[in-house]
Structure 1
Amino acid sequence: MAAPGNPRPDAGEARDETFGFFTTSQAAVFRDLVRQGFAQAGLEVTAYADHVVDSSGRVFGLGNVAAECHNDERGERAWREITTRHTDRIVRATDAPSPFDTMTPAELYAGTYVRLVPTADLLQVRAAYAREVAEGVSEVLNVDLPESVAMFLDEHVERFGPLADLRRAGLVNLRAVPFDQHEMLEHQGGRVDILLGDSMFVASSLVVLGDVLTRLGLPTPGRYGVFVAAPFRHQLAFHVLGDATAIPSLNVLAALARAGYDDAPGPVSPDVFWWRDGSLERLTVNEPDGIRIDVGPELTEVLDRLG
């Protein structure tokens, strides 16, 4: 998913250990621009490999803005604009009062969404209510704000819940998430539907995948289910099993998921899952030397039947 303006470094160039799509010199320029952006917004920070820390100990990750710089077609000339806009937005959001203190319960419910995030991101977060829906992927609640989102912590759920009511509202809003693009990727015998959008919750639409297919006028998944990937927050990709294109489509999805997860802002999961009636089974394992696809006896039987 490298953008035309930002080709990956040649094999002979040293790559940054944290952001492999940058050379070491590009990464140094990027981190310095981020530091300058925070300073311009009134916050002095110290830059580390994948985050910055201010004088009060607050930590701000760099993964999303790094991916945004990498994927911009204008190349390095756009990085100052991107980092300045990003840091200004972060500082304003950090200094603003909490939406859980300023919004009414009705406003919160109207802006609440179920969201998928990497389970690893929740290790230091007070969100015991979170539910792991698939290996490495968990479901939380977010409130959508004009320039950002805010995660419900346990105390917010206790204050505005019950959880079941909040989740019900989050699912209603998730079913209405707009998709700005619906593309069909046909490659090496595979056929994959790709949904893209500006919404932070496009990938999270995986939670209501059956409703998504109905909205798009696509065939209702039968007993064979759907191969699906949610690489980053703005993309959902899937293949409805029904014919011999299933195996090549699984291969296409595996490569697509890994590339999107590595390169795009808001990574969710690098894996492909087998969806059946809302349950998810992980099919891929991403290893240093490549992607391994694990197909169990049940799916093997299905693929043999389709093939």
Structure 2
Amino acid sequence: MSRSAWDNIIGGHVDVMIEMMREADPAFITGLSDDEFYSRLRERVIAPSALERMGAYDYSVPLLEVPGAPRRVLNLSSPNRAVTLADCHLVGRDVNAAWAAGRKNTAALKFEDTEILSRNGIDIEVLSGDSIYLASKVADMTTLISTQLGECLYGVLFIVPNAYEFTFHRPRSADGTLAAVTALAELADVFCRDTPSPLSRSVFFWRDGEYSQVCDGITIDPTGIFASTVTELRARAS
């Protein structure tokens, strides 16, 4: 940008940062009415490294019980700003109601772009958009499937490499599903780069309300509900 534009750019950035500091103040947040507070909440899935001090977010929960798993948190959302709420911001609030409001508000957001990547007959679907909450829809997979994905008879194999993308495969055969794990792991590594909101390099699976980690970003290790689904698909084909 030309030197003449610098003052406006810097001034605008400073204004946003000051507003973010003001809204992160527990006194400001606790002073909001319940209606405004709940209407601005969003459920978000983030990398654990994004939390400044884990002990300040005791209310947060992991997406699934594996080391380094993404964590579910609540954000207070404003135009062009988002504050990750800590325990001190939820004092005096009904936490269960806050989770419900945040989930409902995140579910209402829509993906803007759809793309299908095909490799050796394996279809990988990519849903994306501008909102930092789109990948967080995986915390409520039942609603995501019923409102936006459609039929996923044998669950969903997926990655959330950054906040803006949800990339997945619909299992239909054992061999195709295992091949999709490798493809998704490679895409997760690529899509985690050059993004302001990296999330996870892992490959996950969901079926019937249960999550499992299939690849930790390095090693592929089919376990749990994913392993049993692959066995089911193999038996179905024989």
TM over 0.5: yes
**Are residues 1:282 and 2:208 paired?**
no
Work out whether residues 103 and 140 of structure 2, in 8 Å CA contact, stay in contact via their aligned partners in 1: yes
Work out whether residues 189 and 249 of structure 1, in 8 Å CA contact, stay in contact via their aligned partners in 2: no
* Distance (whole Å) between structure 2 residues aligned to residue 101 and residue 295 of structure 1: 44
1:127 aligned to 57, 77, 82, which one? Answer: 57
* Distance (whole Å) between structure 2 residues aligned to residue 298 and residue 252 of structure 1: 20
Q: Which amino acid is 1:93 matched to?
A: E
Q: Which ranges in structure 1 are unaligned for 5 or more consecutive residues?
A: 1-32, 42-80
Q: Which amino acid is 2:17 matched to?
A: V
1:205 aligned to 137, 154, 159, which one? Answer: 137
Deviation at 1:306, TM superposition (A): 6.0
The equivalences for 1:21-100 within 5 A come to 87-88=13-14, 90-98=16-24, 100=29
Q: CA 1:103–1:137 in structure 2 vs 1: closer, same or farther (change >3 Å)?
A: same
Who is 1:118 aligned against?
Answer: 47
Higher helix share goes to which structure? 2
1:237 aligned to 154, 167, 187, which one? Answer: 167
Q: Which runs of 4+ in 1 moved over 6 A?
A: none
Who is 1:144 aligned against?
Answer: 77
Work out whether residues 247 and 303 of structure 1, in 8 Å CA contact, stay in contact via their aligned partners in 2: no
* Distance (whole Å) between structure 2 residues aligned to residue 277 and residue 113 of structure 1: 24
Q: CA 1:94–1:213 in structure 2 vs 1: closer, same or farther (change >3 Å)?
A: closer
The equivalences for 1:200-279 within 5 A come to 200-216=132-148, 218-219=150-151, 221-222=152-153, 224-243=154-173, 244-279=175-210
Deviation at 1:192, TM superposition (A): 1.3
* SS of match in other structure, 1:245: helix
Q: CA 1:149–1:206 in structure 2 vs 1: closer, same or farther (change >3 Å)?
A: same
Q: CA RMSD, aligned part only?
A: 2.8
Q: CA 1:230–1:241 in structure 2 vs 1: closer, same or farther (change >3 Å)?
A: same
- TM-score w.r.t. the length of structure 2 is 0.82
Q: Which amino acid is 1:117 matched to?
A: I
Deviation at 1:269, TM superposition (A): 0.9
* Distance (whole Å) between structure 2 residues aligned to residue 217 and residue 299 of structure 1: 19
Q: CA 1:119–1:303 in structure 2 vs 1: closer, same or farther (change >3 Å)?
A: farther
Work out whether residues 174 and 208 of structure 1, in 8 Å CA contact, stay in contact via their aligned partners in 2: no
**Are residues 1:179 and 2:111 paired?**
yes
Number of aligned residue pairs: 223
* Distance (whole Å) between structure 1 residues aligned to residue 181 and residue 188 of structure 2: 10
- TM-score w.r.t. the length of structure 1 is 0.65
* Distance (whole Å) between structure 1 residues aligned to residue 15 and residue 215 of structure 2: 36
Name the % identity: 22
* Distance (whole Å) between structure 2 residues aligned to residue 110 and residue 247 of structure 1: 41
* Distance (whole Å) between structure 2 residues aligned to residue 133 and residue 231 of structure 1: 14
Who is 2:90 aligned against?
Answer: 157
Q: Which ranges in structure 2 are unaligned for 5 or more consecutive residues?
A: none
* SS of match in other structure, 2:131: coil
Who is 2:222 aligned against?
Answer: 295
Q: CA 1:300–1:240 in structure 2 vs 1: closer, same or farther (change >3 Å)?
A: closer
